Structure 1
Amino acid sequence: MTRAVLAAAFVGLMMSGPAAAETHYTILDFDDLDGWAEDDHNAALTVFRDTCGDMKDPDWQALCALAGDQTDAKAFFELFFRPVMIEDGKDPLFTGYFEPELRGSTSPTERFRYPVYRMPPEARTAPQWLSRRKIETGDEMKGRGLEIAWVDDPVELFFLQIQGSGRIRLTDGRSVRVGYGGSNGHDYRSVGIELVRRGIYEAHQVSAEVIKNWVRRNPVEGEELLQHNDSYVFFRTVNHVPSERGPLGAMNRSITAMRSVAVDPAFIPLGAPVWIEKDGKDPLRRLMVAQDTGSAIKGAQRADIFFGTGKAAGQMAGKLRDPGRMIALLPIQRAYAMLPVGFE
């Protein structure tokens, strides 16, 4: 999403592996992509068109212009792209993220008492502003009209900040969509890792739902646990995005459930098609588009799949932590230019 997505930050403890090595590129054939022929390439092409116009390099601009006239999406990708496997020595990892939906009110009540804040002007100019604890327990935010809404669940509000965007369903039936508006400048500290450090869970047991349930069962200790993360995210309203569209991604365009993926742009160009081969309990073979980024999404084979909006999407996204491989589809000349000098 527009802010660096932190959806998977709490599983950072699961990402130990070899130290980063020199980046390695391998050009594959489309026949090497497991399940390629069976995918809905037209759906992927529609998503590619949503953001390719914002790609600045001439080769991408030329392909975007051609994409608008295509009737055979599979042939388009096979004719103008080459699959490139990009590896940096780190273990592949796929996780999921979603757009949460919270219950809220435009005025505080006994039930709706947890504010969703806009960013204060002074926080924009400070390299590091107040900590989460001071923002939530101090008086600096009070009486300034910075509240977008009030919600009824501090745990969901915490995870709204991790996701970076979401919707607030108001008591009158209206819905307010919020997006990343800035942060207090503190580094994210994983509450999942902290639970493991305290001996409450083993690393393989930690997930978003596990954290939520533990905090709710232990409200006093739970509040202290959440405040262990000094990082705090402020929001802005983004109601110009139609309700039927997905939230804004890093390219400032709506992302699409199960066709948009967050990547590390140091390895994958934003806007590029990527072929996903996710293994695990529910294998996935699908052409997606790299339209988002994330501070927890670091590495050539690290990807975060967008599952959609609401509780069901959140449950599916929260369960995902699987191996696999991700192959970038790059313009032909760009793909071959990545190979070492002297390659034949």
Structure 2
Amino acid sequence: MIRAVFVAILLALPWTGCANALDARYDILSFDTLDGWEEDDHAKALHVFSQTCQDMKDVDWRALCKLAQQKPGARDFFELFFRPVLISEGAPALFTGYFEPELNGSLRRGGRYQYPLYRQPPEAREANPWLTRREIETGDEMKDRGLEIAWVDDPVELFFLQIQGSGRIRLPDGRMIRVGYGGANGHEYRSIGAELVRRGVYDLHQVSAQVIRNWVRRNPEEGAELLMHNPSYVFFRRIDDLEPSLGPRGAMNRSITTGRSIAVDPQFVPLGAPVWIEKAGAAPIHRLMVAQDTGSTIKGAQRADVFMGTGDDAGRVAGTMRDGGRMLVLMPIQRAYALAPDAMQ
């Protein structure tokens, strides 16, 4: 599962929303109040919805999914059978981005490839917590056990791969292998971005993934020690049954789609639901997406992480995204009015 946590987890962004969906407010809006709705490519959104809706459990969702499989007119489909529901619980909207990293690596240690991606050892599954990051990386517990999936050439990128939870490793012969989240050591995450702010190195608004990368590389000894500030450690597994052209798997165990998949808080937004996004900022996004993923820091009714794709370019965009706006969940009509009964009066 993709752990959609990029900017938020780097900065340990606070969340001040309510504890559960029972405290939320539900308002039904009309489609003509959605800014940019008419200009969107609804067929793309329908295609993405069709990829995961068959895994939704409730009868009303499954009935609409069967209809979606028949490839109806996309805009008419959404407007006839759904209503946009604005869910709010006091916290302002926040949109961040995440991506699938691509690292250089080898299946064997040698030359510049000195930094291992490990499978989770059996004892780490049974102990909670297990060894810290420092103990795993500097001790002998993991050595000579055949737990290495691959060796990469950059410890900083390996650290960020652990934050993302999945990625691709480009081998010297050009082949690509994929890795996904395979467990963790059970220690609580500590934000290295927040630590740099605490030390007075940067102000909060200055910190991004690229800023952190650059600081660690400019200060190799202090940077290596900074990474140890986070005791949490992620293990991986190889993923060999996914076509290279497809995106990584999200929380629904289906491939996610660049610019059309988001991570949400499932307390408020059903996984698989269409979600209309109006993201502000320097690069506005007004688009119908699908909630196909979750993340440990994605909490609240107006919180979403947008999947921006694979590789460095996607990472640069994702690493600077932190914008407001609003999001509305497209709910089946009866479900929408059940959530907001006053709208029927």
TM-score under structure 2 length normalisation: 0.96
Residue 59 (structure 2) aligns with = 58
Whole-angstrom distance in 2 between the partners of 1:124 and 1:341: 49
Whole-angstrom distance in 2 between the partners of 1:119 and 1:7: 22
Residue 1 of structure 2 corresponds to residue 5 of structure 1: no
Residue 261 of structure 2 corresponds to residue 260 of structure 1: yes
Task: Give per-residue Cα distances to partners, 1:236-293, cap 9 Å, x unaligned.
Answer: 1112100000001010000000000001111100000000000011111000000000
Whole-angstrom distance in 1 between the partners of 2:185 and 2:81: 44
Task: Give per-residue Cα distances to partners, 1:40-90, cap 9 Å, x unaligned.
Answer: 000000000110011011111101000011331000000111100011111
Residue 14 of structure 2 corresponds to residue 28 of structure 1: no
Whole-angstrom distance in 1 between the partners of 2:344 and 2:123: 54
Say whether the 8 Å CA contact 1:80–1:331 is kept in structure 2.
Answer: yes
Residue 230 of structure 2 corresponds to residue 229 of structure 1: yes
| Structure 1: tracts of 5 or more residues without a match | none
Residue 125 of structure 2 corresponds to residue 102 of structure 1: no
Shift of 1:172: 1.3
Change (3 A) 1:190 1:86: same
Residue 294 of structure 2 corresponds to residue 293 of structure 1: yes
Shift of 1:174: 0.8
Identity %: 66
Residue 162 of structure 2 corresponds to residue 133 of structure 1: no
Whole-angstrom distance in 2 between the partners of 1:78 and 1:282: 27
Say whether the 8 Å CA contact 1:12–1:296 is kept in structure 2.
Answer: no
Residue 173 (structure 2) aligns with = 172
Residue 78 (structure 1) aligns with = 79
Say whether the 8 Å CA contact 1:20–1:90 is kept in structure 2.
Answer: no
Residue 247 of structure 2 corresponds to residue 220 of structure 1: no
Whole-angstrom distance in 2 between the partners of 1:3 and 1:133: 24
Whole-angstrom distance in 2 between the partners of 1:108 and 1:40: 46
Whole-angstrom distance in 1 between the partners of 2:342 and 2:92: 27
Shift of 1:5: 2.4
Shift of 1:3: 4.7
Task: Give per-residue Cα distances to partners, 1:117-151, cap 9 Å, x unaligned.
Answer: 11111111212111111111111100110000000
Residue 280 of structure 2 corresponds to residue 279 of structure 1: yes
Shift of 1:308: 0.5
Change (3 A) 1:207 1:98: same
| Structure 2: tracts of 5 or more residues without a match | none
Query: 53-62 or 5-14: which moved more?
Result: 5-14
Whole-angstrom distance in 1 between the partners of 2:204 and 2:48: 36
Whole-angstrom distance in 2 between the partners of 1:154 and 1:35: 42
Residue 326 (structure 2) aligns with = 325
Whole-angstrom distance in 1 between the partners of 2:309 and 2:138: 33
Change (3 A) 1:300 1:12: farther
Shift of 1:25: 0.6
Q: Aligned-pair RMSD on alpha carbons?
A: 1.5
Residue 47 of structure 2 corresponds to residue 46 of structure 1: yes
Residue 111 (structure 1) aligns with = 112
Shift of 1:17: 5.6
- Pairs aligned (count): 343
1:5 corresponds to which letter in structure 2? A
Shift of 1:14: 4.8
Shift of 1:341: 6.8
2:7 corresponds to which letter in structure 1? A
Say whether the 8 Å CA contact 1:186–1:232 is kept in structure 2.
Answer: yes
Say whether the 8 Å CA contact 1:17–1:91 is kept in structure 2.
Answer: no
Task: Give per-residue Cα distances to partners, 1:287-312, cap 9 Å, x unaligned.
Answer: 00000000111111111000100011
1:180 corresponds to which letter in structure 2? Y
Following TM superposition, the consecutive aligned residue runs of length 4 or more in structure 1 with deviations greater than 6 angstroms are 18-21
TM-score under structure 1 length normalisation: 0.96
Give 3-state SS (helix, strand or coil) of 1:304's partner: strand
Whole-angstrom distance in 2 between the partners of 1:64 and 1:225: 48
Say whether the 8 Å CA contact 2:30–2:84 is kept in structure 1.
Answer: yes
Say whether the 8 Å CA contact 1:129–1:186 is kept in structure 2.
Answer: yes
2:41 corresponds to which letter in structure 1? D
Say whether the 8 Å CA contact 2:10–2:193 is kept in structure 1.
Answer: yes
Whole-angstrom distance in 2 between the partners of 1:23 and 1:71: 33
Task: Give per-residue Cα distances to partners, 1:8-58, cap 9 Å, x unaligned.
Answer: 334545546677693111101001110000000000000001100110111
Give 3-state SS (helix, strand or coil) of 1:286's partner: strand
Whole-angstrom distance in 1 between the partners of 2:213 and 2:343: 54
